A and B are shown apart, each in its own frame.
Chain A
Amino acid sequence: MPLTYTSQDQIEVYRFSVGFTIVVPLIAVFLQAFIPLKVQFFSIFDLPLLVVIFFAVARRSQVAGLLTGSIIGLLQDSLTHQPIGVYGIAKTVVGYGASSLGVKIDVENAGARFLVVLFFYVIHEIVYFMVARGLVGLTLEWSWAHELGSAFANAILAVGLFALLDRFKQRT
Chain B
Amino acid sequence: MESVFGRYRNLVILVFALFLQVIALGVQVHRTTDTEPTRLIRVWVVSAVTPFEKAIVWVQSGTASLWHNYFYLRGVRQENRDLKAEIQRLRLEQVRLNQDAEQARRLQSLLGFREQYISKTVPAQVIGSSGSEQSRVVYIDKDKNDGVKTGDAVITVDGIVGKVSRVLPGTSQVLLINDQTSGVGALLSKSRLQGVLRGTPAGEVILEKVMSDETVQAGENVVTSGGDRIFPKGLPVGVVTRVSQGPDLFLNIRVKPAANLSKLEEVLVVTNVKEMQPAQQQTGPVRAIDILTDRLPSVPEKPAQDPSKPPVAGSAAVSPNTKPGIGANANVIAKPGDMGLAAKNGSAPAVAKPQSTTAQGGTSPLAAASSNGTSNSSAPTDAGTPKPQVEPASNKPAASSANGTSKNSGLAVVKPATEQKPAPPAVKISEKTLSTGSAAQPAGNSVKPTGGQAKPASTAVNPPAKPKPQPQTQPTAQPAMPEPPPQ
Interface residues of A (CB under 8 A from B): 26, 29-30, 32-34, 36-37, 40, 43-44, 62-63, 66-67, 70, 74-76, 78-89, 92-93, 96, 128, 131-132, 135-141
Contacts and interface: CB of A to CB of B under 8 A. Distances in A.
A30 B14 contact: no
Contact of B32 (A66, A74, A79, A83): A83
A26 B52 CA distance: 11
Contact of B49 (A33, A44, A139): A33
B131 A83 contact: no
Interface centre among A79, A131, A138 (most CB of B within 10 A): A79
B100 interface: no
A99 to B, nearest CB: 9
A76 B131 CA distance: 8
Nearest to B48: A26
Contacts of B201: 138-141
Contact of A80 (B135, B180, B202, B262): B135
Interface centre among B9, B17, B42 (most CB of A within 10 A): B17
Contacts of B127: 37
A85 B52 contact: no
B18 A30 contact: no
Nearest to B264: A37
A135 B53 contact: no
Contact of B173 (A70, A81, A131, A139): A81
Given A62-B10, A66-B17, A83-B32, A33 B25 contact: no
Contacts of B9: 63
A50 to B, nearest CB: 13
Contact of A81 (B48, B131, B175, B263): B175
Interface in B104-162: 126-135, 137-139
A89 B137 contact: no
Contact of B135 (A44, A75, A82): A82
B39 A84 contact: yes
Nearest to B56: A34
B166 interface: yes
A86 B25 contact: yes
A75 B138 CA distance: 16
21 contacts: A26-B49, A30-B49, A30-B52, A33-B130, A33-B131, A62-B14, A66-B14, A66-B17, A78-B44, A79-B128, A79-B135, A80-B134, A81-B130, A82-B135, A85-B22, A89-B21, A92-B14, A135-B26, A137-B29, A138-B201, A141-B202
A74 B41 contact: yes
Given A66-B14, A85-B28, A37 B129 contact: yes
Contact of B25 (A29, A43, A85): A85
Main SS class of interface, A: helix
B181 interface: yes
B131 A32 contact: yes
A80 B53 contact: no
A143 to B, nearest CB: 8
Given A76-B131, A81-B173, A66 B13 contact: yes
A84 B24 contact: yes
Contact of A33 (B42, B128, B180): B128
A36 B45 contact: no
A19 B39 CA distance: 26
Main SS class of interface, B: mixed
Given A70-B17, A79-B46, 13 more contacts: A32-B131, A34-B53, A43-B131, A44-B133, A67-B17, A78-B41, A80-B134, A81-B137, A84-B28, A89-B21, A96-B14, A136-B25, A138-B201
Nearest to A80: B135
Contacts of A66: 10, 13-14, 17
A32 to B, nearest CB: 4
5 nearest A-B pairs in the assembled complex, by CB-CB distance: A80-B135, A32-B131, A78-B45, A83-B28, A85-B25
B25 A135 contact: yes
A92 B21 contact: yes
Contacts of A132: 134
B18 A89 contact: yes
Given A89-B25, A141-B201, A80 B132 contact: yes
B52 A81 contact: no
B212 interface: no
Contacts of A37: 126-129, 138, 264
Interface string B300-336: 0000000000000000000000000000000000000
Contacts of A138: 134, 180-181, 201
Contact of B22 (A76, A89, A96): A89
B25 A84 contact: yes
B241 interface: no
Contacts of A81: 130, 135, 137, 165-166, 173, 175, 179, 181
Interface string B1-37: 0000000011001100110011011101100100000
Nearest to A75: B45
A138 B127 CA distance: 26
B22 A80 contact: no
A34 B130 CA distance: 8
Interface centre among A34, A70, A81, A83 (most CB of B within 10 A): A81
